[in-house]
Chain A
Amino acid sequence: MSIRIFVPMDSGALSVGAGDVAQAIAAEATVRGIDIELVRNGSRGMYWLEPLVEVDTHAGRLAFGPVTAEDVPALFDAGFHEGGMHRLGHGLTEHIPFLAGQERLTFRRVGITDPLSLADYEAHGGFEGLLKAVGLDGAAIVKEVTDSGLRGRGGAAFPTGIKWNTVLHAAGPDKYVVCNADEGDSGTFSDRMLMEGDPYCLIEGMTIAGLAVGARHGYIYLRSEYPHAFHTLQQAIAKAREAGWLGPDVAGSGRSFELEVRLGAGAYVCGEETAMLESLEGKRGIVRFKPPLPAIQGLFGKPTVINNVMSLAAVPLILARGAAFYRDYGMGRSHGTLPFQLAGNLRHPGLVEKAFGITLRELLLDYGGGSASGRPIRAVQVGGPLGAYVPESQFDVPLDYEAYAAMGAMIGHGGLVAFDDTADMARLARYAMEFCATESCGKCTPCRIGSTRGVEVIDRIIAGEARDANLALLDSLCDTMLNGSLCALGGMAPYPVKSALTHFPQDFGIAPVTAE
């Protein structure tokens, strides 16, 4: 029996040398005459341990990391392939506290299976949801998704089932399912991890959406910054089609569903759903007015379901285990789990899937291990470049859509970027406006002009020029952008700016307001 050794193909793992490690292990095993089967899995999401090598044993998988190619001979010397001890060993992977405490629903297979193996996918519960959906009519599938309480994971948190229902009842034979895989928010990488580590899960979710609303064609709009995910998805689609999970007769249902990946071209605004549709149609990624809603008049003018990768990837399990199973996770109106992405200055950055209701403090300290620099964490940007900077005083607010909205922040796509006390919040506020200026589609004035003026005003505040007048101007400008922009880019760019000003005024040269 050959020994199964896992070395991730995830682009994060590859970015720190997993490719060299895999080669070194294969070469060393050959030299030593050891029979191994090298599996290129997805990442477990414990990036500080990447490249993370795992060895399959009777007791479970043993973890070693971070491994460099130079470590490989010593690992073999220590008999790591037979359960031997080595200084890089962490015992059973599943027992590492970072993983053991998680509630992995959407990510239940990522890092465990061979991403492109259909046999592996099916052995781990894959296609159970689709097989169930094949036996249901569209309305019954939509009801299941509605009852699960699933809300859009891209950031807007709109109930997925309600969106699907609109498309289901829209007239016309031609409808589309579009997956928004333009994961442009900085500090987020869960879509990438899933597409690289468990692509069939997304394919299954999109196919179920197609069956639910009566769409026969789906597009995955993938950002061009994800070359590895592109190749993995293309291979996965070809294999799924060959096996009959996609194509003219989906799983023997007699209904067809075709899927295609389209690459974006480095425009953040194309993560906005209507700009994305324009881009898919071969145009500039300019935001459309709403209404008409894309669910009524979307891609090529046809009714279109648009969902984020994480929303669609949650669907197979909802169908397989039932709406109630998923709904029972979470708190308030935030049902289910969210794959949080821990990034920035943290000791243990990575992916933590937990039910809603966990706090930032738990995520940052219990999972993230505090700052990488060892200095106090000063602020965390939650929800991407348009998300608010949350100060330490708010770390105990539960991560729930409503609770976050109430404090002028948003959970968005679940990305957390931690900064230690060396961060200059005025510079970060300036960056938020600069980013908005770079990425604005240019259609509406508040965003196009406002962001550029925002950079100038912040520069003047930092330089101490007529500070009070410029602060009033910045406040008014933020108000205009917030209320007058066509989409979330201009409409939310003030969030990081205003939160930085409110919580860290000293960085702008303003004396902090002290309690009376």
Chain B
Amino acid sequence: MSLHGRPGYHSLEIESGALPFRTLRNAMSATPAPSDHRLAAIHAAVETHRPRPGALLPMLHAIQDALGWVPPEAIPVIATALNQSRAEIHGVVSFYHHFRTTPPGRHVVQVCRAESCQAKGGVALEEHAKRSLGIDWHQTTPDGAISLEPVYCLGNCACSPAIRVGDEILGRVSCARFDRIVEGLREEVPA
């Protein structure tokens, strides 16, 4: 199951020599079987937001906030509630970078790739992040602690380079500070 529906994205990744990671990512993202807990969270999110005009994005946010990703079994539930086709829902999920269709690691670390961060050593930080974690963008470390994502501006351009961990924005992130942050995250016991 690949939701790489973003136009232009596909070919670029391949041409920049990143082909192996897609294979790897698919292999790593063995989708856990649906559970009652997950289905309950999906139904709750769908019911809460169903009456709102333009309810789909609020529903998807609520599901991802509760579960960390949008599991495949959410698609038919949403489609039925909104009287849309599964293809339409799938199309929306795959369009937006924010929505995940594979379970993330315990922490999602986003590294800003935009210009202001580039002007302050962001490219070195990107490379350091990938090398030190041993993974590429959109992958999760083998211990399941950290998923690495690129992000295009966190609005923290006066404190570049910036990263985001969960809902926390961190600025002036040197490679050394990145390592300390990651170390802290690894030590956190999963809830």
In the complex, the answer to whether B157 meets A440 with C-beta atoms within 8 Å is no
Q: 1/0 per residue B1-30: CB within 8 Å of A?
A: 000001111011001000000000000000
Q: Mark A412-441, 1 if CB is under 8 A from B, else 0.
A: 000101111001000010010011111111
A427 to chain B, nearest CB (A): 8
Is B151 within 8 A of A266, CB to CB? yes
- Indicate if B111 sits at the interface (CB-CB under 8 A): no
A188-B155, A225-B154, A300-B53 are contacts. A267–B97 as well, Cβ < 8 Å? yes
Write the nearest CB–CB distance from A21 to chain B, whole angstroms. Answer: 14
**Count of A-B contacts judged by CB separation below 8 Å:** 182
Which chain B positions have C-beta within 8 A of A372? 120
Tell me which residues across on chain B come within 8 A of A456, comparing CB atoms: 15
Nearest neighbor of B166 in chain A, beta-carbon distance: A227
Q: CB < 8 Å: which of B55, B118, B170 contacts A431?
A: B118
Interface segment, one of A10-18, A208-216, A391-399 = A10-18
Q: What separation, in Å, do the CA atoms of A38 and B114 have in the docked complex?
A: 35
| Interface check A452, CB cutoff 8 A | yes
A344 near B7 with CB under 8 A, answer no
| 95-115 of chain A: CB within 8 A of chain B | none
**A502–B82 alpha-carbon span in the complex (Å):** 51
Which of the residues B8, B58, B118, B158 comes within 8 Å of A262, measured between beta carbons?
Answer: B58
**Distance in Å from the Cβ of B177 to the closest Cβ of chain A?**
10
Which residues of the other chain, B, contact A173 by a CB distance below 8 angstroms? none
A438 with B12, Cβ < 8 A, contacts A188-B157, A227-B167, A344-B119 known: yes
For window 258-288 of A, CB contacts with B under 8 Å fall at 262-268, 279-285
- Size of interface on A: residues with Cβ below 8 Å to B: 73
Contact partners of A12 in chain B: CB under 8 A: 155-156, 158-159, 169, 171
Cβ-defined contact, B7 with A265, below 8 A: no
Whether the Cβ atoms of A385 and B11 lie closer than 8 Å is no
Chain B residue nearest in CB terms to A50: B159
Whether A402 sits at the interface, judged by CB under 8 Å, is no
Residues of chain A within 8 A (CB-CB) of B159 are: 12, 15-16, 47, 50, 349
In the complex, chain B residues whose CB is within 8 Å of the CB of A163: none
* A226 located at the interface, meaning its Cβ lies under 8 Å from any Cβ of chain B in the complex: yes
Residues of A within 8 A of B168 (CB): 14-15
Report which of A223, A268, A438 forms a contact with B9, defined as CB distance below 8 A: A438
- In the assembled complex, the CB of B10 is this many whole angstroms from the nearest CB of chain A, namely 9
- Let me know if A164 is at the binding interface, CB within 8 A: no
For window 448-501 of A, CB contacts with B under 8 Å fall at: 448-449, 451-452, 455-456
Binds A, one of B34-42, B88-96, B128-136, B140-148: B88-96
Separation of A437 and B164 alpha carbons in the complex (Å): 23
Interface of B is mostly: mixed
| Interface: B127 (CB within 8 A) | no
Question: Contact between B114 and A186 (Cβ–Cβ < 8 Å)?
Answer: yes
Residues of A with C-beta under 8 A to B155? 11-12, 183, 188-189, 191-192, 223, 225-226
Asked if B115 lies at the interface with its beta carbon under 8 angstroms from chain A, I say yes
Are B6 and A187 in contact (CB-based, < 8 A)?
no
Residue A185 CB within 8 A of the other chain: yes
Q: How far is the CB of B80 from chain A (nearest CB, A)?
A: 15
Instruction: Tell me which residues across on chain A come within 8 A of B120, comparing CB atoms.
Output: 344-345, 372
Contact A435 B152 (CB under 8 A): yes
Least distance between B162 CB and chain A CB atoms (Å)? 7
- The yes or no answer to B86 lying at the interface (CB within 8 A) is no
CA distance A434 to B12 in the complex (A): 8
B60 within 8 Å of A (CB atoms): yes
* CB neighbours of A183 from chain B (8 A): 155
- CB pair B12–A452 under 8 Å, yes or no, is yes
Contact between B8 and A224 (Cβ–Cβ < 8 Å)? no
A186→B156 CA distance, assembly (Å): 9
Which chain B positions have C-beta within 8 A of A314?
none
Q: With A285-B96, A437-B8 known to touch, is A344 a contact of B169 (CB < 8 Å)?
A: no
CB of B97 to closest CB in A, whole Å: 4
Most buried by B among A12, A50, A281, A415: A12
Q: Nearest A residue to B11 by beta-carbon distance?
A: A452
Q: Which residues of A contact B158 (CB under 8 A)?
A: 12, 45, 47-48, 189, 341-343, 349-351
| Nearest CB in chain B: distance from A83 CB, A | 28
Q: How far is the CA of A266 from the CA of B114 in the complex (A)?
A: 14
- CA gap between A450 and B171 in the complex, in Å: 34
| Inter-chain contacts of B115 with A (CB < 8 A) | 186-187, 344, 381, 385, 417, 428, 431
Report A-chain residues with C-beta under 8 Å of the C-beta of B46: none
Are B57 and A279 in contact (CB-based, < 8 A)? yes
Known: A349-B157, A385-B114, A455-B12. 7 other contacts (CB 8 A): A187-B116, A227-B167, A265-B96, A282-B92, A284-B91, A349-B160, A438-B152
Give 9 A-B contacts (CB < 8 Å), ordered by A residue: A15-B156, A15-B169, A228-B169, A264-B96, A267-B97, A341-B157, A344-B115, A344-B116, A350-B158
Top 8 closest pairs, chain A to chain B, by CB: A442-B7, A282-B56, A186-B114, A15-B171, A47-B158, A343-B157, A265-B96, A344-B119
